[in-house]
């Protein structure tokens, strides 16, 4: 036990002796919170809209001013020429084009249907769909008004219709920061546990210091424990730091139990530390480790459901997420923070994470015993 404490003391001494890492450990959560949380958002504002108005009527002008007033659109091109508008789309000056044909006013006031056309730049499918949805919303509203006006003229009774009012639970204002922040925290914790710890392990091999350690009576479990504990602590401290910053900067809601969140994080860290150890036994240089770890990180992050909802992933991807510790952590963080989930709500994910951590760790220890 005393040996482990000496080893841990040595690790901390080395980590904080490193002028860069010592500072980066605290700077990274700060930068991630300040920059990434507000930057990574799906809210789309300032969609560049091009308009071809062939009608130039009160109805078309009214529609255009409604679009401008919605706050989503910025009209960057106003023309009569289809060619010019398409050209603007080509040159990325417009994200979408609304094509109002001649006769909009005449057709709608006389109670007939008039088609309008929308062209959307779909290089980014998400933006395209959302832009279209916003535009469609404005058109729908305007449509109902037109129908109402027409109806008021022809009949006196109100039009029968279903009126939908909705409420967004757990994040009423659809604040993307609330959605992203737990995800960013999960990435932060992973980076500490997976990258820093693994690189540290490989460094001992690369610089040859492991050889001197191996001829001492230090046992392997003592060495591994001493390598993991510091990064477990740093990971949790960074998580706390991230949460405090989130509260101060974005007033992030925290509805659940902080203790539960840290418990889950500790289990998660044990899992990724195990994985780091496993990969480190295969790599003999920090470069090799970095390359493989980066590959895993990307897969874990992109498939964790941080950006894309897991339910929309194909079946095989959801099957893969059974062994993706980040998928569980992402879910647990969001549920605890935004929904206030108790242990019973996340029990399934909790136990999955626990099993995963146990499997990774035992694989790693077994492999480590054989190699080093």
Partner 1 sequence: MQKVIEASGIAKNFGNTQALRGISFDVNEGEIFGFIGPDGAGKTTLFRIITTLYLPDEGSMTVLGVDCVKGYRKLRENIGYMPGRFSLYMDLSVEENLRFYASVFGTTIEENYELIKDIYSHIEPFKTRLAGQLSGGMKQKLALSCALIHKPRLLVLDEPTTGVDAVSRTEFWEMLGKLKAHNITVVVSTPYMDEATKCDRVALIQEGQILSVNPPEVLKDSFTRKLFYVKASDKYNLLKILRSFPLTISAYPFGDSIHTTFSKDNPLGDLNEYLLSKGINDFSISEGRAGIEDRFLELMGTESIHYQ
Site for partner 1, rule CB under 8 A: 2-3, 6-7, 10, 13-14, 17-18, 207-218
Please tell me whether residue 130 adopts helix, strand or coil conformation. helix
Give the nearer residue to partner 1 in terms of CB position, either 219 or 319: 219
Closer Cβ to partner 1, 217 or 314, answer by number = 217
Output 17 or 163, the one with its CB closest to partner 1: 17
Contact between 180 and 324 under an 8 Å Cβ cutoff? The reply is no
Place of tokens 């920061």: 177
* Least distance to partner 1, CB of residue 87, Å: 60
Question: DSSP state, 158?
Answer: P
State the virtual CA torsion across 268, 270, 272, 278 in degrees, nearest 10: -160
What is the CB-side half-sphere exposure of residue 202 using CA atoms within 13 A?
A: 25
Q: How far is the CB of 9 from partner 1 (least distance, A)?
A: 8
The secondary structure of 304-344 as a DSSP string is TTSSS-GGGS-HHHHHHGGG-HHHHHHHHHHIIIII---HH
- b/e string for 178-215 if b means 16 or more Cβ within 10 A? bbbbbbbbbbbbbbbbbbbbbbbbbbbbbeeeeeeeee
Q: How far is the CB of 25 from partner 1 (least distance, A)?
A: 15
Nearer to partner 1 among residue 7 and residue 52 (C-beta): 7
268 and 357 Cβ atoms separated by less than 8 Å: yes
CB of 363 to partner 1, least distance (A): 23
CB of 286 to partner 1, least distance (A): 14
Query: In terms of DSSP bridges, do strands 73-79 and 47-53 run parallel, antiparallel, or are they unpaired?
Result: parallel
CB closer to partner 1, 7 vs 346? 7
* Rounded least distance, CB 276 to partner 1, Å: 20
The one-character DSSP state at 110 is T
Can you tell me whether residue 256 is helix, strand or coil?
coil
Closest CB 213 distance from partner 1, rounded Å: 8
Residue 3 vs 79, nearer CB to partner 1: 3
The residue (of 5 and 152) whose beta carbon lies closer to partner 1 is 5
**Beta strand 73-79 pairing with 96-100:** unpaired
- Nearer CB in complex with partner 1: 13/315: 13
Least distance from C-beta 24 to partner 1, angstroms?
15
Which of 39, 41, 50 is CA-nearest to residue 121? 50
Instruction: Classify strands 47-53 and 117-120 as parallel, antiparallel or unpaired.
Output: unpaired
């Amino acid at each position: 036990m005393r040996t482990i404490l000496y080893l841990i003391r040595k690790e901390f001494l080395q980590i904080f002796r490193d002028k860069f890492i010592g500072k980066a450990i605290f700077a990274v959560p700060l930068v991630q919170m300040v920059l990434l949380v507000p930057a990574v958002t799906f809210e789309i504002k300032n969609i560049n809209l091009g308009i071809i108005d062939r009608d130039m009527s009160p109805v078309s002008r009214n529609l255009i001013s409604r679009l401008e007033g919605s706050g989503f659109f910025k009209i960057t091109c106003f023309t009569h020429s289809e060619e010019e508008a398409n050209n603007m789309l080509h040159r990325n000056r417009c994200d979408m084009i609304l094509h109002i044909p001649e006769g909009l006013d005449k057709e709608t006031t006389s109670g007939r249907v008039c088609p309008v056309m929308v062209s959307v730049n779909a290089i980014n499918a998400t933006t395209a769909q959302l832009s279209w949805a916003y535009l469609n919303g404005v058109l729908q509203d305007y449509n109902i008004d037109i129908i109402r006006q027409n109806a008021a003229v022809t009949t006196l009774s109100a039009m029968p219709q279903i009126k939908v009012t909705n409420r967004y639970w757990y994040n009423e204002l659809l604040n993307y920061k609330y959605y992203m922040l737990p995800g960013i925290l999960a990435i932060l914790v992973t980076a500490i546990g997976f990258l820093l710890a693994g690189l540290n392990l490989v460094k001992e091999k690369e610089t040859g210091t492991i050889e001197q350690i191996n001829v001492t009576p230090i046992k392997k479990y003592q060495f591994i424990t001493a390598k993991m504990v510091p990064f477990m602590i740093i990971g949790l401290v960074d998580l706390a730091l991230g949460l405090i910053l989130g509260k101060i900067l974005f007033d992030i809601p925290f509805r659940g139990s902080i203790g539960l969140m840290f418990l889950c994080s500790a289990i998660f860290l044990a899992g990724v530390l195990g994985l780091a150890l496993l990969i480190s036994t295969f790599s003999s240089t920090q470069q090799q480790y970095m390359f493989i770890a980066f590959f895993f990180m990307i897969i874990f992050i992109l498939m964790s459901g941080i950006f894309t909802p897991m339910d929309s992933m194909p079946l095989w991807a959801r099957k893969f997420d059974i062994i993706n510790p980040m998928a569980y952590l992402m879910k647990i963080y969001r549920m605890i923070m935004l929904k206030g989930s108790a242990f019973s709500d996340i029990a399934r994910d909790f136990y999955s994470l626990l099993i995963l951590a146990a499997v990774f760790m035992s694989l790693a220890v077994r492999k480590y015993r054989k190699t080093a």
